[in-house]
Structure 1
Amino acid sequence: MSHRADALSVRRYGASHGSHTHEHFQILLGLDGVLELEVNGRGRRISAGDGAVIAPGDRHDFVAASIARCLVLDSNDTRWQYALGHPEPRALAPLARYLATACDSALPRARLLGPDLLLEAWTPPLVPQRPRRAIDWSALTAWVQARGHEPLQVDDLAACAHLSAAQFTTRCREERGMSPMAWVRELRLAEARRLRGQGLPVAEVARRTGYRSPSALTAAQRRLAGR
């Protein structure tokens, strides 16, 4: 898989174009207006000075009642995983506005250094690592499968693994190769295939695996098959 260079841009958002995913990190910093953001079913608002880090594989959607303007960084730098779960420092707002001006004015040096400056300003200082608690993925898989109809969130998985949400997200990416909610989706779709193989109706399979309708389950299966 090829990796493109990190890219800074200023984007304007209005009506939603539907949910989607990326294979890279996407970092948003609000400049003007209010952007409604939904990531893996959880919503938040991005106003001027606010920010968000969207991890690879996280399904998300944007909408703004009127035009919202954001500084956007598309990045393949895996160090952004350390920003997940950490709120953006308020000192980022002036830097974001400067980099937005650099994008609008085509200032090459600012745009080149901007991604590293944003990462340095956002991520907390690294501290010596203590021995990490092992995650029993087999037990956690059984726990998720026993709650197939429940709307699980990252906090639920993290609590079961006795980790913080940020720690669990990092460990899931390192050890499973995907975000926590992507991992849950794959488990539930695998269970759906098993239940369909036993001859259960699609509606019953959807109910048991946490999908709101048979069509939602079918759409999820098609997305997985088309990856």
Structure 2
Amino acid sequence: MTASSADSHLSFRRYRSAGFCHAHDHAQIVLPCQGTLEMEVGGRGGRVDAAVAAFVLPGEVHCQRAEGDNRFLIVDCAGGEGAGAPDERMLERLGRRTFLPMTPAVRRLLDFITLTAGNADGGGRNLDGLARHWTPLLLDTLMAEPARPASRLHALLARLEAAPERPWTVEVMARTAGLSASRLHALFREELDQTPQAYVASLRLARVMDQLASTTLPIAQIAYQSGYADQSALTRALRRAVGLTPAAYRRQHGRGQ
């Protein structure tokens, strides 16, 4: 069943260094969960990363390749009158822009969808049910023009996304962003509705849940590589966030479960 004749469809994908090109008869949104994806869409080159998403028009030839560990949420939009189908106005505006900013609103939606899906590729959850409910909202959010010029946090957020395991104290984050600690807190509250420390913690947990679901690495190693002092610290953080220990989360969401 293709997205042109059915409701919208969500899937998590990883890409390899061997690039490939193709086209399909439905619109597609590419959202960054981890890593960087080099894309060429209709002859226009760009990069999907922590700060940028991509929109592909129906029938538009696009090529992609990625290096290193990566993971992207792919939204295959319904065609015709299917649930979540973009209308002509959306196709025109989004297709004209192609590479779209990951505004705080878009990032919050992506984080919610990822966590609801179990943060695993498929995860045994009904991703198509999520698509029916969230694709229209996602399209509307992508359509919204940024309310103001590029955020002062843009470069910092990209660095946090790339290496959340680093010892990101408030002082280090403020210095990286060229801001005072108080101004950093104010911008995080204004744009992301959370503190800098909470944002870093959410990035670390997202990485942990991805590795628990998609690898067999020892939990202690995952904890260390994700910036936790030890496995006990990770266990406390994950239990507070989702009510599960790392071992229980892996049993529930690991591949093949």
TM-score, length-scaled by structure 1: 0.49
Look at both structures and tell me which one has the larger radius of gyration over its CA atoms: 1
TM-score, length-scaled by structure 2: 0.44
